[in-house]
């Protein structure tokens, strides 16, 4: 089983050739009519085409039956830790008689279920007043978390992040931003050029270079000293999403994001010549983002400075960034009751122990960045008290 770890390949060296999926035929036709497309548009279609996109096709994506593992899919320990933060936030806000959580991109509903279970067991008074909104644009994708959470009260679904009211004390998203489409840029002869996807009968899908499709793609690269041939990913859309997430926060509230990513100096360091783009199919990392359109995951690490800049512009205060390993170790007390409960059954206990190792693995999920952004003044939260 694989979490989405580091990459060691150059995606530009790869090119899919076969029109082996329904989406491949649609995209080949589109390129014939409209010409080469930005990699952002390619990735957007591959992940979010309404019928054939990876996250829209109705097939399992994350989890053991899917293509890669996310933290909520590993074990409820992860959700227990988030639930512990939620309970602390509720208490520090004076135990309001309505506490709203929005989760954006809820996948299978595993995170929501473990947060709600933890809160019911640990803070029953909060469980009585919780409202939990799943933000999932795709109706078919929303069905599985809705069914999974049917026994909890106060759960509803919204299809559009930008329509949420500014009333949520906690907005949480796991691996949302690293699934947002990226532009690819490559440095050569003193300037950045953008990579576009082209298709011909002889070469199949392949990359070609051109002028950047927009000047704003270059903004995060101004301070960067790139190596010749360096490849980077840039995604202005992620900043816009952070602004929308902020729009859902109440006057005092916390935005909690978990994503693979680095600060800009590390993300665009000259030694990271091949960028961070990677694919996943049946738990195997792949090296060709042009292969099997719509039938494999494509992801790229986030620029943590971009998230912080967008958050500050939107009036949020950035808590120190932690990695998931540090954060979970600090929250041990919250996680322990779940393990202790499992102790009555040896195999469950051992599974929880193994899960804790997986969730804190410094080469895997333990590397995930935990980004806390607060609106209004909040007291120190569990995980950050000593940060
Ligand atoms: C890598 S998956 C993570 C799923 C889940 N959070 C987990 O950890 O298992 C990324 C999810 O973000 C969702 N997503 C992308 N853009 C979104 C948006 N604008 N609003 C809500 N969800 C979105 C995708 O549909 C996909 O389900």
Whether the pLDDT of residue 7 is over 60: the answer is no
Quick one: pLDDT at residue 333? 65
Contacts of 316 (CB under 8 A, 6+ apart): 246, 249, 255, 373, 374, 375
Which of 67, 284, 76, 274 is CA-nearest to residue 179? 67
Q: Calculate how far, in angstroms, residue 221's C-alpha sits from the geometric centre of ligand 1.
A: 27
Quick one: pLDDT at residue 353? 85
Q: Calculate how far, in angstroms, residue 259's C-alpha sits from the geometric centre of ligand 1.
A: 11
* C-beta separation of 137 from 160 below 8 A: yes
pLDDT band, very low/low/confident/very high, at 344 (cuts 50, 70, 90)? confident
* C-beta separation of 280 from 68 below 8 A: yes
Quick one: pLDDT at residue 325? 95
Please report the atom of ligand 1 found closest to the CA of residue 68. 1
Q: State the average pLDDT for the chain.
A: 92
Q: Is the CB of 235 under 6 A from ligand 1?
A: no
Task: Point out the least confidently predicted range of 8-12, 103-107, 180-184, 194-198.
Answer: 8-12
pLDDT band, very low/low/confident/very high, at 11 (cuts 50, 70, 90)? very low
User: Three-class SS of residue 152?
Assistant: coil
Contacts of 130 (CB under 8 A, 6+ apart): 99, 100, 101, 116, 119, 154
Which of 101, 77, 118, 78 is CA-nearest to residue 254? 101
Dist CA 75 CA 64 (whole Å): 12
Q: Is the CB of 105 under 6 A from ligand 1?
A: yes
Quick one: pLDDT at residue 340? 67
Please report the atom of ligand 1 found closest to the CA of residue 258. 8
Residue-wise burial string across 180-190, b where 16 or more C-beta atoms lie within 10 A, e elsewhere = bbbbbbbbeee
* C-beta separation of 18 from 285 below 8 A: no
Q: Is the CB of 161 under 6 A from ligand 1?
A: yes
Whether the pLDDT of residue 4 is over 80: the answer is no
Please name the residue that has the structure tokens 């019911």.
Answer: 120
**pLDDT one-digit tens code per residue, 202-215:** 999 999 999 999 99
Q: Is the CB of 135 under 6 A from ligand 1?
A: yes
Task: Point out the least confidently predicted range of 28-37, 58-67, 71-80.
Answer: 58-67
Domain residue ranges of the chain, discontinuous segments joined by +: 10-56+183-234+273-296, 69-180+236-260+301-387
Whether the pLDDT of residue 59 is over 90: the answer is no
Contacts of 85 (CB under 8 A, 6+ apart): 170, 254, 256, 331, 334, 381, 382, 383
Dist CA 369 CA 305 (whole Å): 12
Q: Is the CB of 174 under 6 A from ligand 1?
A: yes
Q: Calculate how far, in angstroms, residue 135's C-alpha sits from the geometric centre of ligand 1.
A: 9
Q: Is the pTM of this model over 0.85?
A: yes
* C-beta separation of 316 from 376 below 8 A: no
How far, in whole angstroms, is CA 326 from its chain's centroid? Answer: 19
> If you write DSSP's letter for every residue of 1-28 in order, what string do you get?
--------S-GGG-------SHHHHHHH
Fold of 69-180+236-260+301-387: Rossmann fold (3.40.50)
Q: How many C-beta neighbours within 10 Å does residue 211 have? A: 11
Quick one: pLDDT at residue 1? 62
Q: Which residues pair with 104 in a beta bridge?
A: 135
Q: Calculate how far, in angstroms, residue 231's C-alpha sits from the geometric centre of ligand 1.
A: 25
**pLDDT one-digit tens code per residue, 98-119:** 999 999 999 999 999 999 999 9
Whether the pLDDT of residue 3 is over 90: the answer is no
């Amino acid at each position: 089983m694989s979490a989405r770890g580091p990459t060691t390949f150059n995606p530009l060296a790869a090119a899919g050739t076969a029109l082996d999926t329904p989406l491949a035929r649609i995209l080949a036709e589109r390129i014939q009519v409209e010409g080469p497309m930005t990699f952002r548009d390619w990735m957007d279609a591959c992940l979010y085409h309404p019928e054939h996109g990876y996250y829209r096709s109705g097939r399992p994506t994350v989890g053991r039956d899917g293509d890669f593992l996310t933290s909520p899919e590993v074990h409820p320990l992860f959700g227990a830790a988030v639930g512990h933060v939620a309970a602390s936030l509720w208490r520090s806000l004076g135990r309001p008689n309505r506490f709203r959580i929005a989760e954006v991109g809820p996948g299978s509903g595993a995170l929501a279920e473990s947060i709600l279970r933890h809160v019911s067991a640990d803070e029953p008074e909060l469980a009585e007043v919780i409202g939990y909104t799943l933000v999932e644009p795709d109706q078919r994708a929303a069905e599985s978390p809705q069914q999974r959470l049917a026994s909890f009260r106060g759960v509803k679904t919204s299809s559009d992040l930008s329509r949420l009211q500014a009333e949520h004390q906690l907005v949480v998203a796991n691996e949302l931003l690293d699934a947002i489409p990226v532009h690819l840029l490559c440095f050569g002869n003193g300037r950045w050029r953008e990579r576009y996807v082209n298709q011909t009968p002889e070469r199949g899908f392949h990359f070609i270079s051109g002028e950047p499709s927009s000047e704003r793609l270059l903004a995060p690269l101004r301070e960067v000293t790139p190596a010749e041939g360096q490849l980077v990913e840039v995604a202005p859309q992620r900043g816009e999403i952070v602004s929308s997430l902020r729009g859902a926060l109440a006057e005092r509230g916390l935005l909690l994001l978990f994503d693979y990513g680095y600060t800009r100096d590390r993300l665009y360091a000259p030694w990271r010549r091949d960028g961070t783009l990677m694919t996943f199919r049946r738990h195997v990392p792949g090296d060709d983002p042009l292969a099997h359109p719509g039938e494999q995951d494509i992801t790229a690490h986030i620029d943590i400075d971009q998230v912080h800049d967008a958050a500050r512009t939107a009036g949020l205060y950035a808590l120190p960034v932690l990695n998931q390993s540090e954060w979970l170790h600090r929250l041990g007390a919250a996680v322990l009751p779940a393990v202790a409960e499992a102790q009555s059954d040896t195999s469950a206990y051992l599974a929880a122990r193994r899960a804790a190792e997986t969730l804190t693995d410094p080469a895997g999920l333990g590397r995930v960045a935990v980004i806390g952004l607060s609106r209004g003044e909040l007291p120190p939260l569990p995980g950050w008290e000593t940060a």
